[in-house]
Amino acid sequence: MKNKALELRLSEEEYSRILKILGREPNWTELGIFSVMWSEHCSYKSSLVHLKKFPKKSDRSLTEMGKENAGVLRLKDNWAVAFKIESHNHPSAIEPFQGAATGVGGILRDIFCMGAYPIASLDSLRFGELSNPVNKHLFDGVVRGIAAYGNCFGVPTVAGEVSFDDSYAGNPLVNVVAVGIVRTDRMISARASGVGNAVVYIGAATGRDGIHGASFASGELTEKSSEDRPSVQIGDPFMEKLLLEATQEIAREHLAVGMQDMGAAGLTSSSAEMAAKGDVGVSLDLDKVPTREENMTPYEIMLSESQERMLLVSTPENLPKIEKILDKWGLHYAVIGEVISEPVLKLLWHGEVAAEIPINSLQAGDGAPVYDMPQRKPEYIEELQKRDARKEILEKIASSPGEANPQKILPELLMTPTIASKRWVWRQYDHQVGVRTVIVPGGADAAVMRIMETGQFLAISTDCNGAYCHLDPHSGSASAVLEAARNVAAVGAKPIGITDCLNFGNPQKPEVMWQFSRSCEGISDACSSLKIPVTGGNVSFYNESPKGAVFPTPVIGIVGIIEDERHITPMGFQNAGDDILILGKIDISDLGGSHLQKLLFGKYFGKPPEPKVEEQTQTIEFLLEQIYASRIESAHDISEGGIAVALAECLFAKSQFGANVKVPDDENPVLWMFAESQGVFIISAHPENADKIIAEATEKNVSCEKIGKVTETGMLKIGNFQWNVEKLKEEYESAIPKMMNN
Amino acid sequence: MNAGVVIFPGSNCDRDTYWALSHTGLNVSYLWHEDSELGDVDFVILPGGFSYGDYLRTGAFARFSPVMRAVSDFAGKGGIVLGICNGFQILQEAGLLPGAMLPNKSLRFICDWTYISIENRNSPFTSNIRDGNVLKIPIAHFEGNFFCDDENLERIESNGQVVFRYSDESGDVILSRNPNGSLNNIAGISNERGNVLGMMPHPERASEEILGSDDGKRIFKSVAEWLTGNS
């Protein structure tokens, strides 16, 4: 059995621990259950000590990180927002369409099993460079998979990010955020309780698909990973939609004691986690589990990751009412067990006990192992940080003025797939179903959804710059949180909480753990400064291909509130004659990890831009005050590609306009135009309001200055350089379609 | 005026359509796919979505549902029926409207704003749209490429059954504004009698300024006024 344990990616030490817990050798089924529940994916065994550092609560919190299926924050009256992010990286690497589709399905179930109605989905995607046909294939398949699932289910896919870097070649990142709204009195808990209550299995029958998916996600991808294709599940969005509608009715009538999605580790994790959270046990009769294949063993039934399945606990009195709802929606279900007082997971099969495991031994952070894994600062960081990005760029400009010419650089950056328009992507997503989408993808820095139920609006965004995190995981991760906050602030929303998807390499490598731990600290610092909690999320380790680990990529999903429709702020310039201002400071040293650097050198080095956490928080607050005072016509966050790219983007909405911007006298124009300083917005305002903004900024010690005017020329003019806006837009819009050949 | 929005398993624009119709001032209720009677409704809407998962073929299962028999009877008596997107496909499958939908020419799902020109002003769905000839309404579909044989196409055209065509902002019907490859830029057609309309664009998504357009509402209003005038 011990050798089998090792094959299932359990360590020798973990196997001894199992012997001690059971007081005997585990049988095959029990071993399988331990292996998935103690996998990194389910147990968070290497990450938990670091995740504890996060600020977890705010006045709005209705759940605590890790305690329920998703984070829930109060909005107004008795309405709340439920949201969470999850990764489906490995399945998408092997089978992009189904991998991404089932990623969408999984995260939607996490929020709707709580009683929430999904109102938006966002995708944060990373691939290797599009010059490689394999990456094109992955990109195309993932987008089609997300579209196929989300469009059929009927959730609008409204925002996200797509970036390309060879760090992700062989191990793409597919992270999905689901956002839903829920009435606080209709929330369904993930706890089992009430001895004698029925455990009801709902949805698709169990097949042999996805067995050991959680363990598969907890190992590195190798050349042989395509042999793991059977570990990838197949999605059925139609079934999922029926599950949603039935769950809504169950929630409305308060019929469920508890409910959970059968996600990673399927029936095992849903039953064990629900029982553990409720301090009870659960007994399941596996002969009653609906199966779609013959002769499935208890091991296979418990470890299957067939999609579109939920587990529900009901009192005997409510059971007939629940059955009636499930019948109405044509869903299959079966009562497969009951809640028991003895705190064990007990499985019966053909009248015999097939497994019996103390429930707390399966619970993350409780009986499951927790490790404080060794850390070591990677050598590459010292090496790269020693280099002076600004100095090397200046040398490059001096030695090859033709190549390092802004006239050429701006259009090239706008055609870089990471920066270029993602219209090709979001046009394939139904982003309007639900009649809530007020700002559509590409329309501003964040999507804006209306909440008719409360009269409010939600702004949502996902962000992370992997290159910054590669150069300095601490400051890069803080920057990811702050960029997300800037994006929602730019549309007029006050950030209220984040969910994070921490994509890293193999945690057994001390260098990866060092990155991970620094990243968690960076997220904590930024969230503490912004006074927002981490409401939940996901850790995805083992993102490695034969070429090594991906850039540390802590993707931040953020939610912000807009209380008044009049505060919704566009990104594009609105009127010729308006003043253009920069709020925040551009520092021409902020070039490490920049797109200018990648363009000129093909790689990243130096130090990434400083997050300046407290200063940024103040800038964000100031921007919101000015928006609330109705002084601002448009706002856009400066990020990848610096102020030149941001100015061009401000003009694309109404390309008949132009802009006339001066470069500060003492600054080198190339560095100033493309530095990626954090915490800077481009805003536009009527001249009289601009003066008021500047006066107030001076008073509050916030950096804000006029840099130019919106014109009617259709030309973007920065210092001595100028471009035709229509032409830039054409280049920006056509870059990805050209690469994808349509 | 009472409007009924049919819910099939897999419909996903039912709530949106309900919302838009109520905001147009109609009394709206839901009809369930298993209902064999429509009750007291003057206007039936088959909303968008993926009825029965659209497995086999879009709209192929929905036409066999009990409610569709009732909808056919209702249409046969001159009742006003609107099929939006998947609803249009169901009406085709049920034989209430001609033609079929092929996958979009790009072989990709398309969600985007379109402009449609009003081609027939005698329809209950358009006769009360008084100002302007062009509506801004978004599409969202994978199979919206209208197709039929030449003979049928000629009949549809000569009968004036084409109610909407994809156009530019000023109403010019040009190929470059045909998003999906539909024959003759067809975006919406009616039956011969004119009381049944299918359209691929989603008027319920364009029923309020805050969503980018309220042109869709004008279609619902037109029906409401037509019904008032004929009651």
Q: What is the pLDDT of residues A331-351, one digit of tens each?
A: 999 999 999 999 999 999 999
How high is the pLDDT of residue A691? 97
Which residues in chain B are closer than 8 Å to A450, comparing Cβ atoms?
Answer: 210
CATH of A1-37+188-370, one of 3.30.465.10, 3.90.650.10, 3.40.50.11540, 3.40.50.1100: 3.90.650.10
Q: What's the predicted TM-score (pTM) here?
A: 0.96
Q: Do domains A1-37+188-370 and A63-187+421-565 have the same CATH topology?
A: no
CA A448 to chain B, closest CA, distance in angstroms equals 11
Q: What is the 3-state secondary structure (H, E, C) of A492-506?
A: CCEEEEEEEEEECCC
Q: In 3-state terms, what secondary structure has residue A615?
A: helix
pLDDT, tens digit (0-9, with 9 covering 90-100), for A397-421: 899 888 788 999 999 999 999 999 9
Q: Answer yes or no: do A435 and B111 touch at CB < 8 A.
A: no
Q: Answer yes or no: do B109 and A431 touch at CB < 8 A.
A: no
A387 band by pLDDT with thresholds 50, 70 and 90: very high
Residue A408 to residues A600, A601, A604, A721, A723, Cα–Cα distance (Å):
12, 15, 20, 10, 10
pLDDT, tens digit (0-9, with 9 covering 90-100), for A460-513: 999 999 999 999 999 999 999 999 999 999 999 999 999 999 999 999 999 999
Q: In order of start, what are the domains of chain B with their CATH numbers?
A: 2-229 (3.40.50.880)
Between CA A173 and CA A128 the distance in angstroms is 10
Q: Answer yes or no: do B20 and A435 touch at CB < 8 A.
A: yes
CA angle in degrees (0–180, nearest 5) for A67-A111-A550: 80
Residue B113 to residues A153, A574, B139, B166, Cα–Cα distance (Å):
21, 21, 6, 11
Q: Which of A108, A325, A432 should one mutate to test binding to chain B, selecting the residue with the greatest count of B CBs within 10 A?
A: A432
Q: Answer yes or no: do B112 and A427 touch at CB < 8 A.
A: yes
Q: Answer yes or no: do A433 and B140 touch at CB < 8 A.
A: yes
Instruction: Supply the residues of B annotated as catalytic.
Output: 85, 202, 204
Q: How many helices (H) and strands (E) are present in chain A, helices listed first?
A: 26, 27
Q: Which residue of B has its CA nearest to A432?
A: B205
Q: Does A238 touch chain B (CB under 8 A)?
A: yes
pLDDT, tens digit (0-9, with 9 covering 90-100), for A567-589: 999 999 999 999 999 999 999 99
Q: In 3-state terms, what secondary structure has residue B127?
A: coil
Q: Which residue of A has its CA nearest to B52?
A: A238
Q: Which residue stretches of A605-686 are H helix?
A: 613-628, 642-652, 669-674
Between CA A32 and CA B230 the distance in angstroms is 70
Q: Does A440 touch chain B (CB under 8 A)?
A: yes
Between CA A69 and CA B204 the distance in angstroms is 33
Q: Which of B5, B8, B11, B12 should one mutate to test binding to chain A, selecting the residue with the greatest count of A CBs within 10 A?
A: B12
Q: How far is CA A226 from the centre of its chain?
A: 25
CA B6 to chain A, closest CA, distance in angstroms equals 15
Q: Answer yes or no: do A432 and B13 touch at CB < 8 A.
A: no
Between CA A117 and CA A5 the distance in angstroms is 41
The ranges assigned to domains in chain A are 1-37+188-370, 63-187+421-565, 371-401+573-742
Q: Does B209 touch chain A (CB under 8 A)?
A: no
CA B20 to chain A, closest CA, distance in angstroms equals 9
What are the structure tokens assigned to A575, written together? 């009127």
How high is the pLDDT of residue B58? 81
What are the structure tokens assigned to A132, written together? 């490689």
Between CA B4 and CA B33 the distance in angstroms is 12
Q: Does A698 touch chain B (CB under 8 A)?
A: no
Which residues in chain B are closer than 8 Å to A151, comparing Cβ atoms?
Answer: 50, 109, 111, 140, 142
Q: Does A733 touch chain B (CB under 8 A)?
A: no
Between CA A54 and CA B60 the distance in angstroms is 51
Least CB–CB distance from B12: residue in A154, A429, A450: A154
Find residues 408-437 of chain A whose CB sits inside 8 Å of chain B.
426-435, 437
How high is the pLDDT of residue A567? 98
Q: Answer yes or no: do A429 and B111 touch at CB < 8 A.
A: yes
Q: Which of B35, B57, B58, B109 should one mutate to test binding to chain A, selecting the residue with the greatest count of A CBs within 10 A?
A: B109
Q: Which of B105, B111, B143 should one mutate to test binding to chain A, selecting the residue with the greatest count of A CBs within 10 A?
A: B111
Residue A279 pLDDT > 80: yes
Q: Does A49 touch chain B (CB under 8 A)?
A: no
Chains A, B: CB contacts within 8 A come to 84
Q: Does B122 touch chain A (CB under 8 A)?
A: no
How high is the pLDDT of residue B54? 84
Residue spans of chain B under pLDDT 50: none
Residue A601 pLDDT > 80: yes
Helix (H) or strand (E) holding A164: strand A157-164
Residue A436 pLDDT > 90: yes
Between CA A512 and CA A509 the distance in angstroms is 5
A221 band by pLDDT with thresholds 50, 70 and 90: low
Q: Answer yes or no: do A428 and B54 touch at CB < 8 A.
A: no
Which residues in chain A are closer than 8 Å to B202, comparing Cβ atoms?
Answer: 432
pLDDT, tens digit (0-9, with 9 covering 90-100), for B173-211: 999 999 999 999 999 999 999 999 999 999 999 999 999
Between CA A248 and CA A242 the distance in angstroms is 10
Q: Answer yes or no: do A433 and B12 touch at CB < 8 A.
A: yes
CA A151 to chain B, closest CA, distance in angstroms equals 8
How high is the pLDDT of residue A373? 96
Please tell us whether the domain made up of A63-187+421-565 is placed in CATH 3.30.1330.10: yes
pLDDT, tens digit (0-9, with 9 covering 90-100), for A45-92: 999 999 999 999 999 999 887 778 899 999 999 999 999 999 999 999
CATH of A371-401+573-742, one of 1.10.10.10, 3.90.650.10, 3.40.50.920, 3.40.1280.10: 3.90.650.10
Q: Which of B210, B213, B217, B220 should one mutate to test binding to chain A, selecting the residue with the greatest count of A CBs within 10 A?
A: B210
Residue A230 pLDDT > 60: no
Q: Does B57 touch chain A (CB under 8 A)?
A: no
Between CA B26 and CA B24 the distance in angstroms is 6
CA-closest candidate to residue A116, choices A70, A63, A59, A164: A70
Which residues in chain A are closer than 8 Å to B87, comparing Cβ atoms?
Answer: none
Which residues in chain A are closer than 8 Å to B106, comparing Cβ atoms?
Answer: 742
Residue A151 pLDDT > 70: yes
Residue A243 to residues A138, A255, B151, Cα–Cα distance (Å):
29, 15, 44
Least CB–CB distance from A428: residue in B19, B108, B204: B108
Kindly state the average pLDDT of the residues A724-731.
98
Q: What is the 3-state secondary structure (H, E, C) of A197-208?
A: CEEEEEECCECC
Compute chain A's Rg from CA coordinates.
26
Q: Does B171 touch chain A (CB under 8 A)?
A: no
Between CA A348 and CA A359 the distance in angstroms is 16
pLDDT, tens digit (0-9, with 9 covering 90-100), for A309-330: 999 999 999 999 999 999 999 9
A28 band by pLDDT with thresholds 50, 70 and 90: very high
Q: Which residue of A has its CA nearest to B58?
A: A152
CA A102 to chain B, closest CA, distance in angstroms equals 16
Which residues in chain B are closer than 8 Å to A452, comparing Cβ atoms?
Answer: 19
Which residues in chain A are closer than 8 Å to B211, comparing Cβ atoms?
Answer: 432, 435, 437-438
Classify the phi-psi angles of B188: left when phi > 0, otherwise alpha if psi is within -120 to 50, otherwise beta. Answer: beta
Between CA A518 and CA A499 the distance in angstroms is 18
